[in-house]
Amino acid sequence: MKRSILFAAIVAPLMLSAQVLNKPKVALRNWATGLSEPVGITNCGDSRMFVIERAGRIKIISDSMTVLPTPFLNISGPVQSAGGEQGLLGLAFEPNYLDSGYFYVYYIAGTGNGTSRISRFSVSSDPDLADVASEQVLWEWPQPYSNHNGGDLHFGPDGYLYLSLGDGGSGDDPEGNGQDYLEPLGGMICIDVSAHDTTYLIPPSNPFSYETGTDTLPEIWATGLRNPYRWSFDRLTGNMWIGDVGQNAWEEVDFWAAGNNTCPNFGWRCREGLVANNNVSQTNCLGAAGYVSPVAVFENVGTGGQYCSMMGGYVYRGSWYPHHYGHYIFTDYCAGDFLTFSDETNTDVDTMLATTTVGYAGFGEDLDGQLYVVDQSNDLVKKIFDPCLMADPVITSDDLLFTATSGNSYQWLLNGVLIPGANQQTFSPTVNGNYQVRVNFGTPCNLISDTLVYLSSSIEELAPVSLRIYPQPGTDVVTIEGYRSAMSTELKLIDTMGRVVSTVRLAKGQNQITFDVAQLPAGTYLLREVAADGSYVSAAALVVAH
């Protein structure tokens, strides 16, 4: 009499991205202490990091926990920093700064509500010291209130200088600046400073550079923003990411693709987040389709670990932390959580690090694209790093035995569902499907592998099965005989979860062995006979009862 036995085969793995499942995490390491209200950080093209202090100083971090005692620049005299949102707010080095020596700052000057100002400075003969006397004021605009001053300053991929400006302050933009194309407040301006003289040029790519009328301001590049305090360009794509601070309802993240100079209008004061701002008349406002909607919104529910002030971050383009690559990383001043989404096409928010720290006020990149964050409330700069530097786990297969990358603990999954009790490094599948393993490398590194597909092969007709096990059910010791010692090398005992619980090596010429089952849990097991070439020769069921 012949019996049919299913033989199993491993097919090529179906490679699904584990990055989708392995949500990137971050950790923070102190990088500088002893600062005073740091609000921004950037690099100049070498290994140094430059920290902006709101009172009007720029300090140099030359290495971890090393802040040079003498400020690179101190303009605390002309800087108006009496209001909590006033002060020295932005710093940008020319792309070729190491050759030209020119850098630019944005600050509030004067008294009272003050005046927004962009100034150019040059470095002195000492590379760690700017020439204070070299200041050239390039652009100014009066502020109607003391808050909502925006403040981020960046050179774009086009070589032009961009400045974000809040709506001028108070509540609900009483001046209507956000929707006024003659008013830079409530938007962004873009200027050409390459001439290095006493003024600037209007870039020909600006949306209103060729306007001849008086209803637009040629410096304007974008509008409809409430207080874009921190934003950035993606250093790879040139895309713009903006953290726009909301009012009482919604915080938002905005996105605009590189090369599109059509003056995006992000909706404020007509809209806040994804909804109409019903605190103001909608008479002169457009519907939702008339504005650029944010890519992500967060309900503003006040302080105490909740969202209140969105801080735009950066798309990580460094090479040290592959789990982070291409992810946009940002935070909120009050909540303190570090958040991310994959890119502009996938804005499902993931929490990289949950904190209750109030005061993270800005991000910055070093020369290599590594990220830093300033903690204004605690006078710190911290470096962002990946606590899970190990590669994602992988599954290797040897015949029907799966083996996971070595870790602290394991959990196998079938079709995305946990397999109860399958928590060893190895696993032998018995059911068709998609297998993965989650490996814990230590908190918080609980990573999941790509998918490996297991399929049963066709049924093979064998000669009468000679493998015999008795007594059945076994209680203490069973005898196994009838295996083909001339061609077999081992016997594998597999439980109903597909785990190999025991392997017995066979000696040549041997045709009978005894096997202790006293320590095995009661249940049904599969005994498989393995040939020297790795194929399965025969199989029989073993029932254990105690």
Give me the CATH number covering residue 248.
2.120.10.30
Q: Is it the case that residue 463 has pLDDT exceeding 60?
A: no
Per-residue confidence (pLDDT) for residue 18, from 0 to 100: 44
42 and 96 part of one domain: yes
Per-residue confidence (pLDDT) for residue 252, from 0 to 100: 97
171 and 297 part of one domain: yes
246 and 372 part of one domain: yes
Q: For residue range 505-514, what is the model confidence (pLDDT) as tens digits?
A: 888 777 788 9
Q: How many structural domains does the chain have?
A: 3
Residue 125: pLDDT band (50, 70, 90) is very high
Average pLDDT over residues 447-460: 69
Per-residue confidence (pLDDT) for residue 399, from 0 to 100: 64
Residue 454: pLDDT band (50, 70, 90) is confident
Q: Which of 117, 119, 28 is nearest to 80 (CA)?
A: 117
Mean pLDDT of the chain: 89
Average pLDDT over residues 107-129: 98
Residue 215: count other Cβ atoms within 10 Å of its Cβ: 9
Per-residue confidence (pLDDT) for residue 1, from 0 to 100: 26
237 and 181 part of one domain: yes
More confident residue, 491 or 159: 159
Average pLDDT over residues 50-71: 98
8 and 66 part of one domain: no
Residue 16: pLDDT band (50, 70, 90) is very low
80 and 100 part of one domain: yes
Per-residue confidence (pLDDT) for residue 384, from 0 to 100: 97
* Cβ-Cβ contacts under 8 Å for 259 (sequence gap 6 or more): 238
Per-residue confidence (pLDDT) for residue 213, from 0 to 100: 67
- Among residues 352, 384, 416, the one where a domain terminates is 384
1 and 42 part of one domain: no
CA distance 413 to 449: 10
Q: Is it the case that residue 536 has pLDDT exceeding 80?
A: no
Q: For residue range 90-107, what is the model confidence (pLDDT) as tens digits?
A: 999 999 999 999 999 999
Q: For residue range 169-228, what is the model confidence (pLDDT) as tens digits?
A: 999 999 999 999 999 999 999 999 999 999 999 999 999 998 766 789 999 999 999 999
Per-residue confidence (pLDDT) for residue 459, from 0 to 100: 32
DSSP state of 215: S
Give me the CATH number covering residue 13.
2.60.40
309 and 420 part of one domain: no
Average pLDDT over residues 301-310: 75
426 and 440 part of one domain: yes
Give me the CATH number covering residue 492.
2.60.40.1930
Residue 9: pLDDT band (50, 70, 90) is very low
Q: Per mean pLDDT, which range of 19-23, 84-88, 260-264, 330-334 is the poorest? A: 19-23
- Among residues 440, 464, 488, the one where a domain terminates is 464
Q: Is it the case that residue 11 has pLDDT exceeding 70?
A: no
Percent share of the chain, pLDDT over 70: 91
* Cβ-Cβ contacts under 8 Å for 43 (sequence gap 6 or more): 49, 50, 93, 364, 365, 366, 367
235 and 337 part of one domain: yes
Per-residue confidence (pLDDT) for residue 497, from 0 to 100: 65
408 and 495 part of one domain: no
136 and 171 part of one domain: yes
- Among residues 338, 354, 384, the one where a domain terminates is 384
Per-residue confidence (pLDDT) for residue 12, from 0 to 100: 33
Average pLDDT over residues 339-364: 93
CA distance 229 to 254: 12
The CA-atom distances, in angstroms, between 365 and each of 8, 232, 268, 483, 504 are: 51, 10, 29, 66, 57
Asked if the bond preceding 269 is cis, omega within 30° of 0, the reply is yes
Asked if 145 contacts 170 with a C-beta cutoff of 8 angstroms, the reply is yes
pTM of the model: 0.81
Percent share of the chain, pLDDT over 90: 71
- For residue 123, the enclosing domain spans 24-384
CA distance 478 to 529: 16
